[in-house]
Amino acid sequence: MQRFHQFVFSASLLAVCWLAMIAVHELGHVVGAWVTGGSVERVVLYPLAISRTDVSPNPHPGIVVWLGPIVGAILPLALFAVVPRRLTVLRNVARFFAGFCLIANGGYIAYGAIDGVGDCGEMLRNGTPQWVLYAFGAVTIPLGLSVLHSLGSLHQFINKPPTITPRMTYLVVSVLLLAVVIGFTLSPR
Protein backbone atom coordinates (compact mmCIF):
# COMPACT_ATOMS: atom_id res chain seq x y z
CA MET A 1 0.00 0.00 0.00
CA GLN A 2 2.93 2.36 0.65
CA ARG A 3 4.10 2.01 -2.97
CA PHE A 4 0.57 2.75 -4.17
CA HIS A 5 0.45 5.98 -2.16
CA GLN A 6 3.91 6.92 -3.38
CA PHE A 7 2.89 6.37 -7.03
CA VAL A 8 -0.42 8.25 -6.71
CA PHE A 9 1.28 11.09 -4.81
CA SER A 10 4.01 11.40 -7.45
CA ALA A 11 1.67 11.28 -10.44
CA SER A 12 -0.74 13.74 -8.84
CA LEU A 13 2.05 16.10 -7.79
CA LEU A 14 3.42 16.14 -11.34
CA ALA A 15 -0.03 16.93 -12.73
CA VAL A 16 -0.62 19.67 -10.12
CA CYS A 17 2.79 21.17 -10.88
CA TRP A 18 2.04 21.13 -14.62
CA LEU A 19 -1.30 22.90 -14.18
CA ALA A 20 0.11 25.37 -11.64
CA MET A 21 3.14 26.07 -13.85
CA ILE A 22 0.81 26.91 -16.73
CA ALA A 23 -1.26 29.19 -14.48
CA VAL A 24 1.82 31.04 -13.18
CA HIS A 25 3.21 31.38 -16.72
CA GLU A 26 -0.08 32.85 -17.97
CA LEU A 27 -0.20 35.10 -14.91
CA GLY A 28 3.08 36.55 -16.15
CA HIS A 29 1.46 37.40 -19.48
CA VAL A 30 -1.47 39.00 -17.66
CA VAL A 31 0.87 41.10 -15.50
CA GLY A 32 2.77 42.07 -18.65
CA ALA A 33 -0.43 43.23 -20.31
CA TRP A 34 -1.52 45.23 -17.28
CA VAL A 35 1.81 47.02 -16.75
CA THR A 36 2.12 47.94 -20.43
CA GLY A 37 -1.42 49.25 -20.87
CA GLY A 38 -2.73 46.20 -22.71
CA SER A 39 -6.13 44.69 -22.17
CA VAL A 40 -6.55 41.01 -21.35
CA GLU A 41 -9.42 39.60 -23.37
CA ARG A 42 -9.17 35.99 -22.27
CA VAL A 43 -6.96 33.55 -20.38
CA VAL A 44 -7.36 29.93 -21.40
CA LEU A 45 -6.37 27.41 -18.73
CA TYR A 46 -8.70 24.66 -19.91
CA PRO A 47 -6.89 21.42 -19.01
CA LEU A 48 -7.45 19.85 -22.45
CA ALA A 49 -6.24 22.84 -24.50
CA ILE A 50 -3.00 24.71 -24.99
CA SER A 51 -3.01 27.59 -22.53
CA ARG A 52 -2.86 31.14 -23.79
CA THR A 53 -3.52 34.72 -22.85
CA ASP A 54 -5.23 36.89 -25.47
CA VAL A 55 -4.29 40.56 -25.19
CA SER A 56 -5.83 43.28 -27.34
CA PRO A 57 -4.77 45.96 -27.66
CA ASN A 58 -1.22 44.85 -26.94
CA PRO A 59 0.99 47.95 -27.11
CA HIS A 60 4.15 46.10 -25.99
CA PRO A 61 3.90 42.46 -27.12
CA GLY A 62 7.59 41.81 -26.49
CA ILE A 63 7.24 42.62 -22.79
CA VAL A 64 3.95 40.72 -22.47
CA VAL A 65 5.36 37.57 -24.06
CA TRP A 66 8.59 37.61 -22.03
CA LEU A 67 6.87 38.12 -18.67
CA GLY A 68 5.18 34.71 -19.06
CA PRO A 69 8.34 32.63 -18.70
CA ILE A 70 10.10 35.16 -16.46
CA VAL A 71 7.27 35.26 -13.89
CA GLY A 72 6.77 31.54 -14.49
CA ALA A 73 10.34 30.92 -13.37
CA ILE A 74 10.80 33.55 -10.64
CA LEU A 75 7.45 33.45 -8.78
CA PRO A 76 7.75 29.74 -7.82
CA LEU A 77 11.29 30.41 -6.56
CA ALA A 78 9.98 33.29 -4.46
CA LEU A 79 7.18 31.09 -3.14
CA PHE A 80 9.72 28.45 -2.13
CA ALA A 81 11.87 31.10 -0.44
CA VAL A 82 9.06 32.24 1.86
CA VAL A 83 7.90 28.79 3.03
CA PRO A 84 9.22 28.38 6.59
CA ARG A 85 11.82 25.65 7.13
CA ARG A 86 9.73 24.08 9.88
CA LEU A 87 7.07 23.15 7.30
CA THR A 88 9.29 20.47 5.78
CA VAL A 89 6.78 18.75 3.52
CA LEU A 90 5.31 22.00 2.18
CA ARG A 91 8.82 23.38 1.69
CA ASN A 92 9.86 20.29 -0.27
CA VAL A 93 6.75 20.51 -2.45
CA ALA A 94 7.45 24.22 -3.05
CA ARG A 95 11.08 23.37 -3.88
CA PHE A 96 9.95 20.69 -6.33
CA PHE A 97 7.47 23.11 -7.93
CA ALA A 98 10.18 25.79 -8.28
CA GLY A 99 12.58 23.35 -9.95
CA PHE A 100 9.82 22.01 -12.17
CA CYS A 101 8.84 25.53 -13.31
CA LEU A 102 12.42 26.55 -14.03
CA ILE A 103 12.96 23.46 -16.19
CA ALA A 104 9.56 23.68 -17.92
CA ASN A 105 9.79 27.38 -18.78
CA GLY A 106 13.45 27.11 -19.78
CA GLY A 107 12.85 24.06 -21.91
CA TYR A 108 9.83 25.64 -23.58
CA ILE A 109 11.74 28.78 -24.52
CA ALA A 110 15.00 27.06 -25.53
CA TYR A 111 13.26 24.36 -27.59
CA GLY A 112 10.78 26.85 -29.04
CA ALA A 113 13.70 28.91 -30.34
CA ILE A 114 14.36 26.16 -32.87
CA ASP A 115 11.06 26.45 -34.75
CA GLY A 116 9.43 29.55 -33.26
CA VAL A 117 6.56 27.70 -31.65
CA GLY A 118 4.13 29.47 -29.27
CA ASP A 119 5.55 32.33 -27.25
CA CYS A 120 8.92 31.90 -28.94
CA GLY A 121 7.50 32.86 -32.33
CA GLU A 122 6.16 36.05 -30.78
CA MET A 123 9.51 36.72 -29.13
CA LEU A 124 11.38 36.29 -32.40
CA ARG A 125 8.86 38.41 -34.34
CA ASN A 126 9.30 41.19 -31.78
CA GLY A 127 13.05 41.34 -32.18
CA THR A 128 14.43 39.00 -29.54
CA PRO A 129 17.55 37.34 -30.98
CA GLN A 130 17.38 33.54 -31.07
CA TRP A 131 20.48 33.27 -28.85
CA VAL A 132 18.60 35.04 -26.02
CA LEU A 133 15.99 32.27 -26.04
CA TYR A 134 18.75 29.65 -25.85
CA ALA A 135 20.46 31.63 -23.07
CA PHE A 136 17.21 31.73 -21.06
CA GLY A 137 17.06 27.93 -21.23
CA ALA A 138 20.78 27.63 -20.51
CA VAL A 139 20.27 29.51 -17.24
CA THR A 140 16.89 28.22 -16.06
CA ILE A 141 17.23 24.51 -16.87
CA PRO A 142 20.47 23.92 -14.89
CA LEU A 143 19.13 26.10 -12.06
CA GLY A 144 15.95 24.00 -11.98
CA LEU A 145 17.98 20.78 -11.94
CA SER A 146 20.04 22.18 -9.07
CA VAL A 147 16.90 23.03 -7.10
CA LEU A 148 15.53 19.53 -7.68
CA HIS A 149 18.87 17.92 -6.83
CA SER A 150 18.80 19.63 -3.43
CA LEU A 151 15.75 17.48 -2.59
CA GLY A 152 17.93 14.36 -2.62
CA SER A 153 18.16 11.52 -5.06
CA LEU A 154 15.27 9.89 -6.86
CA HIS A 155 16.73 6.57 -5.71
CA GLN A 156 16.29 7.65 -2.06
CA PHE A 157 12.69 8.70 -2.71
CA ILE A 158 11.81 5.42 -4.43
CA ASN A 159 13.38 3.35 -1.68
CA LYS A 160 11.62 5.24 1.13
CA PRO A 161 7.89 5.06 0.39
CA PRO A 162 6.98 5.57 4.07
CA THR A 163 7.97 9.23 3.63
CA ILE A 164 4.72 9.62 1.65
CA THR A 165 1.73 9.28 3.95
CA PRO A 166 -1.81 8.47 2.84
CA ARG A 167 -2.88 11.89 4.15
CA MET A 168 -0.34 13.64 1.94
CA THR A 169 -1.42 11.55 -1.04
CA TYR A 170 -5.11 12.35 -0.63
CA LEU A 171 -4.34 16.03 -0.12
CA VAL A 172 -2.39 16.23 -3.40
CA VAL A 173 -5.09 14.27 -5.24
CA SER A 174 -7.70 16.69 -3.84
CA VAL A 175 -5.67 19.69 -4.99
CA LEU A 176 -5.37 18.13 -8.45
CA LEU A 177 -9.11 17.51 -8.69
CA LEU A 178 -9.81 21.07 -7.54
CA ALA A 179 -7.39 22.47 -10.14
CA VAL A 180 -9.01 20.44 -12.93
CA VAL A 181 -12.52 21.50 -11.89
CA ILE A 182 -11.44 25.16 -11.77
CA GLY A 183 -9.78 24.81 -15.17
CA PHE A 184 -12.89 23.30 -16.74
CA THR A 185 -15.20 25.76 -15.04
CA LEU A 186 -13.44 29.08 -15.52
CA SER A 187 -11.70 28.77 -18.89
CA PRO A 188 -13.42 29.39 -22.18
CA ARG A 189 -12.94 26.54 -24.60
pLDDT tens for residues 120-131? 999 999 999 999
Evaluate whether residue 189 is within a structural domain.
Answer: no
Q: What pLDDT shows up at residue 154?
A: 67
Chain centroid to Cα 178, Å, comes to 17
Torsion of CA 58, 59, 63, 66, to 10 degrees: 20
In a domain, 45, yes or no: yes
- Quick check: 177 pLDDT over 90? yes
The answer to whether position 103 is within a domain reads: yes
Task: Tell which wins on pLDDT, 95 or 47.
Answer: 95
Q: So what's the pLDDT on residue 1? A: 64
pLDDT at 156: 66
> Could you give the CA distance from residue 5 to residue 45 in angstroms, rounded to a whole number?
28
Peptide bond into 47 cis (omega under 30): no
Kind plus residue range of the DSSP H or E element containing 58: none
Whole domain around residue 29: which residue ranges?
2-183
Confidence at residue 88, expressed as pLDDT on a 0 to 100 scale: 85
Number of domains in the chain: 1
Q: Is residue 188 part of a domain?
A: no
In a domain, 142, yes or no: yes
Q: Is residue 132 part of a domain?
A: yes
Residue 162: what pLDDT?
64
Stated pTM of the model? 0.90
Domain-embedded: residue 39: yes
Q: Return the beta strands (E) in the chain as ranges.
A: 40-44, 52-55
- pLDDT tens, 138-170? 999 999 999 999 887 766 666 766 677 888 889
